Structure 1
Amino acid sequence: MPEPTDQPADHPAAHPTGRSLPRTDRRTALADAAVGVLAAHGMRGLTHRAVDRAAGLPSGTTSAYYRTRRALLTALVRRLVALDQAELEEAARRAPVPRDAEDLVAGLAALTAQRLTGEGRQRSLARYACAIESVHHPELREILTPRENTAREAVRAVLTAHGVPETAADARTVTLLTCVDGLVFDRLVHGGQVSPAELRGLVAGALRTETADGAGR
């Protein structure tokens, strides 16, 4: 990694390729670097200087674009949401719409595997750190909330197609995805992958219908 210089952020040497990045691209590059710093070093390690180093840009570049830590963290969260949504949309293009329980299990298995390896794992670590931070900063929670909309719509469609009442579908969908999220969190902490058997049990519970006397079947 090159040593920081005193050159301005828009100087060609401010980018490792020797070319000056457009302002919007540099903001994105800094947000991406911030995600990596947060995943590797936690909230205490997320500093403007650390992001400069991770991005390979001169000292002071991050501060020039995001003057406060709150501004940097907000940009990071927005970038996480954008990457999550792009990932879900790409998965929807590649895979058919789930038609039954096994399709749903397969889709959830692919999603959990993606979030536990490589860049997906890095984003998961950053996402959970941001979720905890949002307890104290509600404006971050407002940004994080819509990140699973695409997944929720697909899951909800499967549940209603298999007899789950409309009145229960939203709650069942949120419960299922929250449980899956919990499994991902557990594996991040303790290692390993989420098994199809675990997902199959969660899906079966979400698809449970109610008889007239209120007993599940």
Structure 2
Amino acid sequence: MPTDRRTVLADAAIAVLADTGMRGLTHRAVDRAARLPAGTTSAYYRTRQALLTALVRRLVELDQAELQEIGARVPVPRTAAELVTGIVGFAAVRLTGEGRTRSLARYACAVESARHPELREILVPRENLARQAVCAFLAAQGVADPDARTVTLLTCVDGLVFDRLVNGGSVCEEEVRGLVAAALR
């Protein structure tokens, strides 16, 4: 559990955003979620935009740490079946528990970034070990332009996660198998 006050507030803001949506993200709501005295969030993040920027930076930091850890723990897939299993497992994490909270907050921030380009710059997908593993697998399979195919494949997976957050359900192996097969063509 983080002890740095700014990190505690950013984490609380992620939870508030996931629970209440963009309209519910207020300094007072973050104070309550962080169990801190009224006015604390405002003292650290004077404006709502400053709070939102801190939230997005923390969200990216948490996501990148998770993806780096996955990439370090899981070797480059050797077969399409291994890649499918890895992606389905990752999607399950994004749909449950803390992953669900962060996913809901991430999508709310992505929509908000259409009006605030400074947020879009922070949210831009970054290189990480998990993304590199997918790209390395596609390259090893002889796919032309594995970088572009990796982006397309992971964007499609992201779309499935978004759909399941909105409509319920889980990302199934058959769907991912189809996406991987398309990426390999």
Q: What is the deviation of 1:206?
A: 0.1
Q: Secondary structure at the match of 2:178?
A: helix
Q: Indicate conservation of the 8 Å contact 1:81/1:147, yes or no.
A: no
Seq. identity, %: 74
Amino acid at match of 1:174: V
The counterpart of 1:151, out of the listed 108, 118, 130, is: 130
Q: What is the deviation of 1:96?
A: 2.1
Question: For the residues of structure 2 that align with 1:147 and 1:73, how far apart are their CA atoms?
Answer: 20
* Greater helix content: 2
Q: What is the deviation of 1:174?
A: 1.1
Alignment correspondent of 1:206: 183
Q: Indicate conservation of the 8 Å contact 2:70/2:129, yes or no.
A: no
Q: So what's the TM-score if we normalise by structure 1?
A: 0.81
Q: What is the deviation of 1:153?
A: 1.6
Structure whose CA Rg is larger: 1
Alignment correspondent of 1:79: 58
Residue-by-residue CA offset, 1:131-177 (whole Å, 9 max, x unaligned): 00000111111111134644332211111100112xx2222111111
Amino acid at match of 1:158: F
Residue-by-residue CA offset, 1:51-93 (whole Å, 9 max, x unaligned): 0000000000000000011110000001000110111122123
- Consecutive unaligned residues of structure 2, counting only runs of 5 or more, are none
Alignment correspondent of 1:110: 89
Alignment correspondent of 2:119: 140
Q: Indicate conservation of the 8 Å contact 1:80/1:123, yes or no.
A: yes
- Consecutive unaligned residues of structure 1, counting only runs of 5 or more, are 1-20, 209-217
The counterpart of 1:195, out of the listed 166, 172, 185, is: 172
Alignment correspondent of 2:158: 181
Amino acid at match of 2:134: V
Q: Secondary structure at the match of 2:169?
A: coil
Q: Indicate conservation of the 8 Å contact 2:75/2:133, yes or no.
A: no
Matches within 5 A, 1:120-135: 120-135=99-114
Alignment correspondent of 2:140: 161
Q: Indicate conservation of the 8 Å contact 1:84/1:147, yes or no.
A: no
Q: Indicate conservation of the 8 Å contact 1:52/1:62, yes or no.
A: yes
Q: So what's the TM-score if we normalise by structure 2?
A: 0.95
Amino acid at match of 1:70: Q
Q: Indicate conservation of the 8 Å contact 2:68/2:128, yes or no.
A: no
Residue-by-residue CA offset, 1:28-73 (whole Å, 9 max, x unaligned): 0000000000000000000000000000000000000000111100
Alignment correspondent of 1:5: none
Amino acid at match of 2:44: Y
Amino acid at match of 2:155: T
Aligned residue pair count: 184
Quick one: higher RCO (CA 8 Å, sep 6+), 1 or 2? 2
Q: Indicate conservation of the 8 Å contact 2:59/2:106, yes or no.
A: yes
Amino acid at match of 2:78: R
Question: For the residues of structure 2 that align with 1:93 and 1:171, how far apart are their CA atoms?
Answer: 22
Q: Indicate conservation of the 8 Å contact 1:85/1:150, yes or no.
A: no
